[in-house]
Amino acid sequence: MGRFVELGSTNRPIGLVFGGGATIRFIADHFKEPGWFTRRVFNPLVAGSTRLGLSLAGSRVLEVKGRKSGEWRKTPVNPLDFDGDRYLVAPRGNTQWVRNMRASGGGRLVGGRKVEEFTATEVPEERRPAVLRAYLRKWKWEVGAFFDGVGPESTDEELRAIAPDHPVFRID
């Protein structure tokens, strides 16, 4: 069998090394599950109003095909315009939509009657801090609780430390 090793800045074993030096990297398992109120009241309210064209500060409904079922899965998201690109950030971590996005490579953003199909590329961990800072500058009032006290005023080192726990996708 292999031995666990640290890969990256997460300070926890996220890789397995085998005899010939081959390494298997595990995806960080960080995930903050939404509570009953968020799942049953807040998210459906935001998603419903966004689908009707009443966006909350630019929110959209993300639709991504399920990696197992192939059915469209929907969740409200907060797209970020930053440095000429658009991004989706997963404040709750390695969520189902993140796993589905990795498998499908894209999805749809819905706001009112406007449906935008897109492809997406996951941003490498070392490039996430600047995007996370901009995301927190705009959305901390809504999602700050999921970033363990790190905010837009945090140091680059603090942002690098949380980057593995918050997947980021560039909308192509």
Of residues 72 and 12, more confidently modeled = 72
Q: Report pLDDT for 21.
A: 52
Longest pairwise C-alpha distance within the chain:
56
Domain 36-171 class? Answer: mainly beta
What are 2-57's pLDDT values in tens digits?
A: 444 444 434 444 444 445 554 444 545 776 776 777 677 766 776 777 667 767 67
Instruction: Inform me whether the pLDDT recorded for 99 exceeds 90.
Output: yes
Q: Report pLDDT for 128.
A: 98
- Specify whether the backbone of 87 is left (phi greater than 0), alpha (psi in -120 to 50) or beta: beta
Question: Are the C-beta atoms of 111 and 50 separated by less than 8 Å?
Answer: yes
- Mean pLDDT along residues 77-104: 97
The domain segmentation of the chain, as residue ranges, is 36-171
Sequence-ordered list of residues with C-beta below 8 angstroms from that of 164, at least 6 positions apart, any chain: 8, 9, 10, 14, 28, 30, 125
End-to-end CA distance of the chain: 40
Least confident of 38-47, 76-85, 141-150: 38-47
Least confident of 47-51, 69-73, 161-165: 47-51
Instruction: Inform me whether the pLDDT recorded for 160 exceeds 90.
Output: yes
Global pTM reads 0.76
What are 102-142's pLDDT values in tens digits?
A: 999 999 999 988 999 999 999 999 999 999 999 999 999 98
Closest by CA to 136, choosing from 121, 146, 127, 126, is 146
Q: Report pLDDT for 53.
A: 72
**What distance in Å separates the CA atoms of residue 87 and residue 119, rounded to the nearest whole number?**
11
Of residues 159 and 47, more confidently modeled = 159
Q: Report pLDDT for 167.
A: 98
Closest by CA to 76, choosing from 62, 64, 96, 92, is 62
